[in-house]
Amino acid sequence: MKSNEELSLHMPTWRFIDESFSARGRSALESFAADDTLCHLVGQQMSSPAVRTWVHDHTVVLGIQDHRLPHIEEAVPLIHEAGYQTIVRNSGGLAVVLDSGVLNISLVLSEQQGSIDIPEGYEMMVAFVKQLFPEAADRIEAYEIVGSYCPGTYDLSMEGRKFAGISQRRLRQGVAVQVYLCVEGSGSERAKLIRTLYEAGLQGEATKFTYPVIQPDVMASLSELLETDLTVSDIIIRTQLLLRELSGDLQMGGFTPEELELYGFYLKRVVERNQKMLKA
C-alpha cells in the first residue's frame, strides 16, 4: 500500500469534463463509453488525468447478477411502470438508481508511472469525496452498509446511513474510479425501488447468488444527512474549485473531434455488449 503522500490527488494538470446537464436525457450506456474512452486516453497518456461529472434521468442500472434473477422478466416491468428505464452493465456490482438528484463522478488516472492497485483506487476516491465535503469529512466512513443496494466494502456513509458507492473500471492502463453521490431527494425512496426489483425478481426463490435484502432506512441523501438543501449544481462548483486547488492547471471542455472518434468505437462496443446481455 502506498503512503498518503503517494496517494496525493495533486497533479500538474487536471482535466474536467462536466456532463451533469448535457447527459441527463441520454442513455447511461453513453457514460460507460465515455469513461472507457477516458481510460484509454489517460492510460496511454494522450490526456491529462481527468474528472468527469455526469447525471442521467430515471435509470436503474442492473448488474450482471441482477439480470439473472429467476423472475427478472416480471421485475423489470415494475421498474418501467415506476418511470425508470433499465440497462445492464457488463461489469461487477448490483443495481443502482440514477436520477437528477444523483451525481456521478469519475476519477480517471494512468498507471504508466506506476500501478494503482484496487484498494488504492478506492482510497483515492474516499479522499476526494472527503475533500469535497470538508464540513463532514470526519463523519464520512467507508465500510459495507448491510441492507443498502449495491453494497460493498467502500460504501460511504454517515452514522450508518449510506449516501454513496464506489466502483472501478480498468482499461488500457487507465483506471476510472467512479462514485455515485445521492445528493438530493430521499435515499430511502430510491432504496424502495430496488427492493421492489428484488422482491419481484426473487419471489422467495432460493438462488446460488445472495442478493441484498434492502432496508430503505439505511440509505440517505447528502441533503438529508447534512440537513441542508444541497443541489447537484452545488457539488459541480465544489468539484471545480477543488480541482483548481489540486492542480496548477485546470483544463475544461469535452472531447476533441479526434477523441470523439475513439468514443464512437467504445460506444458501439458498450451498446453491442448490452444487447447481448439482454438477449441472454
Question: 224 CB contacts (<8 Å, ≥6 apart)?
Answer: 161, 186, 187
Distance CA 36, CA 53 (A): 14
Residue with cell 441482477: 66
Confirm if 249 and 13 have CB atoms less than 8 A apart: yes
pLDDT tens for the chain, residues 1 to 280? 444 434 579 999 999 999 999 989 999 999 999 999 999 999 999 999 999 999 999 999 999 899 899 999 999 999 999 999 999 886 678 999 999 999 999 999 999 988 999 999 999 999 999 999 999 999 999 999 999 999 999 999 999 999 999 999 999 999 999 999 999 999 999 999 999 999 999 999 999 999 999 999 999 999 999 999 999 999 999 999 999 999 989 999 899 999 999 999 999 999 998 888 776 6
The superfamily in CATH containing domain 11-279 is: Bira Bifunctional Protein; Domain 2 (3.30.930.10)
CA of residue 278 relative to chain centroid, distance: 21
Confirm if 164 and 182 have CB atoms less than 8 A apart: yes
* pLDDT value of position 91: 67
Active site residues: 150
Q: Where are the domains positioned within the chain?
A: 11-279
DSSP 94: -
* pLDDT value of position 59: 96
Distance CA 25, CA 39 (A): 24
Type and span of the H or E element at 189: helix 187-202
DSSP 217: G
Distance CA 280, CA 278 (A): 5
